[in-house]
Amino acid sequence: MANETLKGLKVAILVTDGFEQVELVEPRKALDQAGAETRIVSPKSDSVRGWDFTDWGDELPVDDPLDQAKVQDFDALLLPGGVINPDALRMQPKSVAWVKAFFDAGKPVATICHGSWTIIEAGVARGRRIASWPSLKTDLRNAGVEWVDQEAVVDGNLVSSRSPDDIPAFNRKMIALFGQQSGQARRVA
């Protein structure tokens, strides 16, 4: 994927403590290899700590504290999962409003595993097809979503995926979707 198809694209990665580490690290690596600039945005101002399947993982520096980050400075959004991270984000009005602003602006969003909890809370899930961790099936259906059990699903400006096992397919579809945004940005410039 090291082909610079996303050169000039700026991607926000919204997380707080407890994000599933592989769901941030591997998609971020794919985005960076495709030429995107990725930045960790968080309600925390210094660092965030990942969850590595069964225990705490690595700490990563926060690039942009959420209270200073501006949606208009980014072209796309990545929402990693984990159970702790999206559950905490959906309880913070500023995080929820930030996610909603990406959808309102028509910017592409990628979410994996439990990340769609924040999309539900933002009120932008209804009428969509979304893949997620199976335990979210009822939550998503109750929010008016067609839950699908597939590696990666694209619905308009949203790509979603079930689990860390699906990251290769998720990365391919995310880069393709974000690449459409990158092409639009170049045409407008």
Least confident of 4-8, 67-71, 81-85: 4-8
CA–CA separation, 144 and 140 (whole Å):
7
Residue 53 has pLDDT above 90, yes or no: yes
Q: Which range is least confidently modeled, 6-20, 113-127, 141-155, 170-184?
A: 170-184
Mean pLDDT of the chain: 94
Q: What percent of the chain has pLDDT over 90?
A: 92
The one-character DSSP state at 83 is S
Rounded distance, CA 47 to CA 26, Å?
A: 18
Give residues with Cβ within 8 angstroms of 183, minimum separation 6. none
Specify whether 114 is catalytic.
yes
User: Which amino acid, one-letter code, is at 61?
Assistant: P
Whole-number Cα distances in Å, 157 to 64, 104, 129: 23, 11, 11
Residue 92: closest CA among 67, 69, 110, 116: 67
Give me the amino acid identity at 118: T
Residue corresponding to tokens 């092409």: 183
Residue 186, pLDDT above cutoff 50:
no
The pLDDT of residue 64 is above 90: yes
Give me the catalytic one of 90, 114, 128, 173.
Answer: 114
Contacts of 11 (CB under 8 A, 6+ apart): 31, 36, 37, 38, 39, 74, 75, 76, 77, 78, 178
What does the domain layout of the chain look like in residue ranges?
10-183
What is the distance of C-alpha 50 from the center of its chain?
Answer: 15
Q: What is the pTM of this model?
A: 0.95
Q: Which fold has domain 10-183?
A: Rossmann fold (3.40.50)
Give the active site residue among 12, 113, 153, 159. 113
Helices (H), 79-130: 84-89, 93-104, 116-121
Q: Is 37 a catalytic residue?
A: no
For residue 162, the 8-state DSSP code is S
Asked whether residue 187 carries a pLDDT value surpassing 60, the answer given is no
